[in-house]
Amino acid sequence: MSDLTIRNLKKSFEDIHIIKGIDLDIKDHEFVVFVGPSGCGKSTLLRLIAGLEEVTSGSIQLDERDITDVAPAKRDLAMVFQSYALYPHMTVRKNMSFALDLAGIDKAEIQRKVEDAAKVLELGPLLERKPKALSGGQRQRVAIGRSIVRNPKIFLFDEPLSNLDAALRVLMRLELARLHKELNATMIYVTHDQVEAMTLADKVVVLNAGRVEQVGSPLELYHHPVNQFVAGFIGTPKMAFLKGTVKAVSNAGVTVALDCGPHYQLPHQSTSLKPGDDITFGIRPENIEVVAADQSPFKVRLDVTEHLGADTYCYIKLANGEMMTVRAPGDFMADYGQNAGLLPDLSQAHLFDASGKTIPRPRPPAQAA
Amino acid sequence: MSDLTIRNLKKSFEDIHIIKGIDLDIKDHEFVVFVGPSGCGKSTLLRLIAGLEEVTSGSIQLDERDITDVAPAKRDLAMVFQSYALYPHMTVRKNMSFALDLAGIDKAEIQRKVEDAAKVLELGPLLERKPKALSGGQRQRVAIGRSIVRNPKIFLFDEPLSNLDAALRVLMRLELARLHKELNATMIYVTHDQVEAMTLADKVVVLNAGRVEQVGSPLELYHHPVNQFVAGFIGTPKMAFLKGTVKAVSNAGVTVALDCGPHYQLPHQSTSLKPGDDITFGIRPENIEVVAADQSPFKVRLDVTEHLGADTYCYIKLANGEMMTVRAPGDFMADYGQNAGLLPDLSQAHLFDASGKTIPRPRPPAQAA
Amino acid sequence: MLTLKQGRQLQTVLLGTLAWLVALTIFFPIFWMILTSFKTEIDAFATPPQLFFTPTLENYLHIDARSDYFHFAWNSVVVSFGSTLLGMLLAVPAAYSMAFFETKRTKSTLLWMLSTKMLPPVGVLVPIYLIFKDFGLLDTKFGLVLIYTLINLPIMVWMVYTYFKEIPKDILEAARLDGATALQEIYRVLLPISKGGLASTVLLSLILSWNEAFWSLNLTASSAAPLTALVASYSSPEGLFWAKLSAVSTLACAPILIFGWLSQKQLVRGLSFGAVK
Amino acid sequence: MLTLKQGRQLQTVLLGTLAWLVALTIFFPIFWMILTSFKTEIDAFATPPQLFFTPTLENYLHIDARSDYFHFAWNSVVVSFGSTLLGMLLAVPAAYSMAFFETKRTKSTLLWMLSTKMLPPVGVLVPIYLIFKDFGLLDTKFGLVLIYTLINLPIMVWMVYTYFKEIPKDILEAARLDGATALQEIYRVLLPISKGGLASTVLLSLILSWNEAFWSLNLTASSAAPLTALVASYSSPEGLFWAKLSAVSTLACAPILIFGWLSQKQLVRGLSFGAVK
């Protein structure tokens, strides 16, 4: 068992409030990712759980045991640092056995545990090397190995892939996903990269300015963000946000007039909106089709077009200054400044009220995940 | 006019040969991108053109004038450095006017030129600030502005976006593309990021180990790489490479047996291949469809599946240990370890002979660009 | 077992106290010297030492009557500033060449220069004295300027080299592309950028020259003698006049103490070589 | 106009030569001292100075007859090693507390300690002499150890602090998560990682203590006098015996010159604070 329960957790450094009251439940075997822009408090939250920072108020419980003020070593957690934080003067073997050594565990037992972990991570041939003789990916694996030997209740990862190059990052991401399935362990992972969050997590916790914005599965966040912040943070290229005004609200949905021209009727249900309210219409790049200018009421001039091979991104600056991105097929061709029409898939559109809160849209059964 | 002609250019540092004989023609108004893995010599090549390194042998001509041994300042080139290299003790205005100042140009003229450049780059309100009071993107724009005021024949960019965060990188990429269209200038741009190369270039020069691998338009490189190195370097996720053997060669094409199981007949024309030759079959992630296991002879077990929202990446480890990636639609669902079949689009497949050279495939008229 | 919080607090207090003790131990003698300078000779020599006493100015009046303080102070000023100026004129181009046109010999040259600071000064007294005698430099301000420049040059070159090393090569290359000559590179780009570090180097050179006591005693007699020689003249024969010696020491140290105190931040920032920011 | 290549070559030659000249000027006196020690007294005092002469060992034989070289050398060794050991015992915990439990006062404490190096030593001679007299420390090796420790402590704390600062905090936090106590952190992680820097600090302290000439002359008479005092005993009254003075200076400097030469790389690496890599 390893259930972590956080209640009304707060952390301030002098007068600066970093964590402003967080409640969170992490269940056994979950892979939870904390994600958010830099300065949102995600790393501080992880360090509070690890015991590397003192809690200002609130509590942290691990399996009914209050660990709020317990020393880091006694919490039954292991952490993988962004810098790996390997001991440079020790071999890989010593790095991995250091904690067991300090705990006074039997030599033979230590050797067995280290070699088991080395087997899982394919570190066998590297055991007698020093960290500086290892590549970035190997160091990363040693840091993970150092955690595994301790058999902790929870693994903590602090942006573990941010020092690796793009290609290695993808490989280590897969390895981590595989490791989670093999160890069947509880993992908490901090990143600022929404792609890592989407691809690794069972449950994503989106943080912003010391508060939790949304907790949910990656696809839940992608398709049903609770507010404009989450909608804009998850997904690349970013969702386009177009300002508009509510024209009518009925049982059939909401009719909006966008500042850039077109009017749309959307299936969203709202009891709080009324005609004249400011509204933001959100649409992801892959949910827009580019057609000839006379085939849509949404007429635009295409700006720069980027050919990535598999896809083409069209960047558009609307007449009222708003920017948007459209994803077209790889063989799409267009000239700089060419006129075109846009056809958004309204069943995939999002609406946000003036405060940024989402107006819920009907869920097709298949997407309810 | 600004045509740059490079002939048999070589550069060695002591015994290490960095540039091993390069011939290259850059035409007026072109946006040329040098791309390659780190250590391929792309930055050195740019520095040779700028005059910041001495040429070991070979020649560089700009509009019929031999500039191989000319001092950097007399070459009529301007360079934007990776670190921006702004003068920290000067205001933005001074930074931009420094070169004109040294050249002894009339004060009023300098002021006019600086203000013209500031207008193009929207730097007007920042002219009296010091570099440290600017954001990364603003510094970047000042570095570009410093080049513009000199009205050079060629602009050189040395990985100018690598110090910016991902979001800003996309914005500055667009701004550079727009600037190239507005100034109608010749630009040479160095990057290790194939996405930047694909999206910015009129002409991409792929370098590897001090030699040119291929020169061509981005889509030419994507669809018709001349060898396996270029095919693997361009495109994310990477093209999958599957080893196999030639079974038959005829007018109708080449029949290959892949080590991982399936046999395919491909429309590629070759006079050099004969049955029994080793061959590598290449296919891009977006040209494969995942179907039920009983619907294809190419049967696999799916490994980790990553949901990015708009797309789903399926990672597959084949029975013979080869790795491949498939791009499926955003709503594709699969379990870890599930059985499936793969249907590659053979018209988009690539073949490479034992030395890594491409066996050309027939070009449909539309793709000939 | 201690909680996390208690453990940290204990450590902070314990180790903080140690650091302060070290600092205090070092500063106590200065405090004691200033105190002694206001005592009578009898109070100064009392055993056990007295912390409370009736302050007197008689020592300072005595010094004013016996020696021309300003003559010595002026020598100190001239020699310190002269050697600093000369040192910077040599150190800047040397450091420039080492930092930006590094060859295989650069590191060994630096190493060689720095290691001269490890030489015992008594070891080179004889040849220096002989050379000074032959060139008529004994008891001249110019001679002291020369010797102080030689003494401080390695550390000055090293410091300036360190500051220049911190300047990205890119900036100089940009200046070169912008059409700057080597001299324009130094005067319009390099020096303005590193002016903080150069100021620290100047400060350190001034202070080290001011405090220098070995060479000033051995190479000067009266006309070029700086304040350190004045202090020494009170110490050797009449070893018992502690209060007067304290007073003259206070007078000799006062200018540099005040100067050092005013420029403390700049100085430490410079000494830290960018380690404390 | 010069081509790019010619311009660079000219600069490299010009500035490289300057750097070498500076270094040579500093080293010439040492060469001269060693040369003089093999001259007869008459050759040594000749004007103009002689570069070619018949070498003699008579100066060294004279010194061997008159003084107990090994007595002074032993004192130098004991005092240098003693003060270095004591200094490290104080500097390591102080630097640890400052580097890893930084408070608002940390920087001002460091600043304060460093600025003591800027004090003129003559300024604090009187109180130190009095304190030594009262505690019976005059002309004892223990007294010299104490004073050298005090003198070198600020620079030692500063150096160790700089090395500790280079160690990422993450590594100590990892050790803490692994269950290490504060002492285990220091002995099993911190010291092994920074052993290169600590070795440099030890070397510097040894050399500075060995060369110290001001305090050793003023606070010792005979039983605790180190080599620098031996040299001084040859200089003052019989000012004319240049060759003998050169010989005794050579003897005094020889151990530290050889020691410094052997450990040059480590020393410079340490002094460079990571700037040259």
Q: pLDDT exceeding 70 applies to what percent of chain A?
A: 98
pLDDT for res C197: 85
**Taking the mean position of all CA atoms in its chain, how far away is CA A88?**
31
The residues that bridge with A301 in the sheet, in sequence order, are A339
Residue C179: HSE in the Cβ half-sphere, 13 Å Cα cutoff? 18
Residue with tokens 């027939």: B362
Residue pLDDT, tens place only, B58-89: 999 998 899 998 888 888 899 999 999 999 99
B130 close contact with C: CB closer than 8 A: no
Q: One-letter amino acid identity for B60?
A: I
- The sheet carrying B298-307 orders its strands as B288-291, B339-344, B298-307, B311-317, B323-329
For residue B35, count CB atoms less than 10 angstroms from its CB and return exposed for 0-12, middle for 13-18, buried for 19 or more: buried
Which residues in chain C have Cβ-Cβ distances shorter than 8 Å to B51?
177
Domains delineated in chain A: 4-229 (3.40.50.300), 237-359 (2.40.50.140)
* Residue A31: closest CA among A217, A200, A206: A200
pLDDT for res D239: 55
Task: Output C269 or D186, whichever has higher pLDDT.
Answer: D186
**What are the Cα distances from residue A172, in Å, to A283, C56, D109?**
32, 78, 45
Q: One-letter amino acid identity for A350?
A: H
Q: Is the bond preceding B237 in cis, omega lying within 30 degrees of 0?
A: yes
Task: Output D197 or B287, whichever has higher pLDDT.
Answer: B287
Residue pLDDT, tens place only, C216-229: 888 888 788 888 88
Q: Angle B43-B49-B50 (CA atoms, 0-180°, nearest 5)?
A: 85
The alpha-carbon gap from B66 to the nearest alpha carbon of chain D, in Å, equals: 13
Domains delineated in chain C: 70-239+255-276 (1.10.3720.10)
Cβ atoms D97, C19 nearer than 8 A: yes
Q: One-letter amino acid identity for C33?
A: M
Consecutive H or E run containing B115: helix B107-120
For the segment C123-148, the average pLDDT, to the nearest whole number, is 84
Which residues in chain B have Cβ-Cβ distances shorter than 8 Å to C176?
52, 71-73
Task: Output A228 or D157, whichever has higher pLDDT.
Answer: A228
User: Can you tell me the distance from the alpha carbon of B323 to that of B336, in angstroms, rounded to the nearest whole number?
Assistant: 15
Task: Report C:139-198 residues touching B (Cβ under 8 A).
Answer: 168, 170-171, 173-180, 184, 188-189, 192-193, 195
Structure tokens at A259: 């500042």
pLDDT for res B367: 47
Q: What is the mean pLDDT of chain B?
A: 90
Cβ atoms C148, C81 nearer than 8 A: no
Task: Output C21 or A138, whichever has higher pLDDT.
Answer: A138
Cβ atoms B16, B187 nearer than 8 A: no
Classified as helix, coil or strand, C154 is: helix
D181 close contact with C: CB closer than 8 A: no
Measured between CB atoms, which of A173, A218, A237 is closest to B307?
Answer: A218
Q: 10 Å Cβ neighbour count for D3?
A: 13
Structure tokens at C89: 């004129």
pLDDT for res C269: 65
Measured between CB atoms, which of A284, A303, A306 is closest to B199?
Answer: A306
* B125 has pLDDT over 70: yes
Query: What pLDDT band is residue C256 in, cutting at 50, 70 and 90?
Result: confident
User: Can you tell me the distance from the alpha carbon of D237 to that of D215, in angstroms, rounded to the nearest whole number?
Assistant: 20
User: Can you tell me the distance from the alpha carbon of B367 to that of A331, in angstroms, rounded to the nearest whole number?
Assistant: 8
User: Can you tell me the distance from the alpha carbon of D251 to that of D44, in angstroms, rounded to the nearest whole number?
Assistant: 17
The alpha-carbon gap from C142 to the nearest alpha carbon of chain A, in Å, equals: 53
Q: Which of A101-110, B119-128, C18-27 has the lowest mean pLDDT?
A: C18-27
For residue D183, count CB atoms less than 10 angstroms from its CB and return exposed for 0-12, middle for 13-18, buried for 19 or more: exposed
* Residue B258: closest CA among B303, B337, B313, B324: B324
Structure tokens at B128: 């009296």
Residue pLDDT, tens place only, B300-352: 998 888 888 889 999 998 888 898 999 999 888 888 888 999 999 999 999 99
The alpha-carbon gap from C147 to the nearest alpha carbon of chain D, in Å, equals: 10
Which residues in chain D have Cβ-Cβ distances shorter than 8 Å to A52?
173, 176-177
Query: What pLDDT band is residue C275 in, cutting at 50, 70 and 90?
Result: very low
What angle separates helix C141-166 from helix C69-100, to the nearest 10 degrees?
40
Query: What pLDDT band is residue C111 in, cutting at 50, 70 and 90?
Result: low
User: Can you tell me the distance from the alpha carbon of D218 to that of D129, in angstroms, rounded to the nearest whole number?
Assistant: 8
User: Can you tell me the distance from the alpha carbon of A213 to that of A228, in angstroms, rounded to the nearest whole number?
Assistant: 10
Residue pLDDT, tens place only, C123-134: 677 778 877 888
pLDDT for res A39: 86
Q: Phi and psi dihedrals of B357, rounded to 5?
A: -75, 145
Structure tokens at B170: 């996309």
pLDDT for res A59: 93
Cβ atoms B247, B257 nearer than 8 A: yes
B69 close contact with D: CB closer than 8 A: yes
User: Can you tell me the distance from the alpha carbon of B305 to that of B325, in angstroms, rounded to the nearest whole number?
Assistant: 10
Q: 10 Å Cβ neighbour count for A349?
A: 21
pLDDT for res B344: 93
Structure tokens at A8: 């009304």
* Residue C166: closest CA among C189, C194, C145: C194
For residue A40, count CB atoms less than 10 angstroms from its CB and return exposed for 0-12, middle for 13-18, buried for 19 or more: buried
Query: What pLDDT band is residue B236 in, cutting at 50, 70 and 90?
Result: confident
Task: Output C189 or D211, whichever has higher pLDDT.
Answer: C189
User: Can you tell me the distance from the alpha carbon of B226 to that of D145, in angstroms, rounded to the nearest whole number?
Assistant: 75
Q: pTM of the prediction?
A: 0.80
For the segment B256-278, the average pLDDT, to the nearest whole number, is 90
Contacts of A352 (CB under 8 A, 6+ apart): A227, A228, A231, A241, A279, A280, A282, A358, A359
Cβ atoms B263, B247 nearer than 8 A: yes
User: Can you tell me the distance from the alpha carbon of A5 to that of A347, in angstroms, rounded to the nearest whole number?
Assistant: 37
Could you please report the per-residue DSSP string of D188-212? IIIHHHTHHHHHHHHHHHHHHHHH-
pLDDT for res B369: 42
Measured between CB atoms, which of A178, A286, A307 is closest to B198?
Answer: A307
User: Can you tell me the distance from the alpha carbon of B60 to that of B51, in angstroms, rounded to the nearest whole number?
Assistant: 10
Task: Output B14 or B259, whichever has higher pLDDT.
Answer: B259
Contacts of D124 (CB under 8 A, 6+ apart): C29, C30, C32, C33, C249
Q: One-letter amino acid identity for B259?
A: D
pLDDT for res A31: 94
Give this complex's ipTM. 0.76
Classified as helix, coil or strand, D35 is: helix
Helices (H), chain C: 4-37, 41-44, 58-66, 69-100, 104-115, 121-134, 141-166, 169-177, 182-184, 191-193, 195-211, 214-219, 227-235, 242-262, 264-271
Residue with tokens 């400097």: D253
* B124 has pLDDT over 60: yes
Task: Output B162 or D271, whichever has higher pLDDT.
Answer: B162
Listed as ranges, residues in chain D with pLDDT below 70 are 1-12, 14-16, 18-19, 21-26, 47, 49, 104-105, 108, 111-112, 114-120, 122-123, 235-240, 264, 267-277
pLDDT for res B42: 94
Give chain A's end-to-end CA distance (angstroms, integer). 26
B122 close contact with D: CB closer than 8 A: no
Please report the sign of the dihedral spanned by the C-alpha atoms of residue D90, residue D91, residue D94, residue D97. Answer: negative
pLDDT for res D268: 64
Cross-chain Cβ contact A51/C5 below 8 Å: no
- The sheet carrying A311-317 orders its strands as A288-291, A339-344, A298-307, A311-317, A323-329
Which residues in chain C have Cβ-Cβ distances shorter than 8 Å to B81?
170, 173-174
Q: Phi and psi dihedrals of B337, rounded to 5?
A: 90, 0
User: Can you tell me the distance from the alpha carbon of A248 to that of A269, in angstroms, rounded to the nearest whole number?
Assistant: 12
Contacts of D17 (CB under 8 A, 6+ apart): none
Task: Report D:200-259 residues touching C (Cβ under 8 A).
Answer: 207-208, 210-211, 213-214, 227-228, 231-232, 235, 242, 245-246, 249-250, 252-253, 256-257
Query: What pLDDT band is residue A368 in, cutting at 50, 70 and 90?
Result: very low
Classified as helix, coil or strand, C50 is: coil
Task: Report D:41-70 residues touching C (Cβ under 8 A).
Answer: 44-45, 47-49
Classified as helix, coil or strand, C144 is: helix
**What are the Cα distances from residue B89, in Å, to A353, B104, B165?**
47, 21, 25
* C277 has pLDDT over 50: no
Q: 10 Å Cβ neighbour count for B188?
A: 24
Cβ atoms C127, D36 nearer than 8 A: yes
User: Can you tell me the distance from the alpha carbon of C198 to that of C185, in angstroms, rounded to the nearest whole number?
Assistant: 16
Which residues in chain C have Cβ-Cβ distances shorter than 8 Å to A69?
3-5
Q: Phi and psi dihedrals of C272, rounded to 5?
A: -75, -10
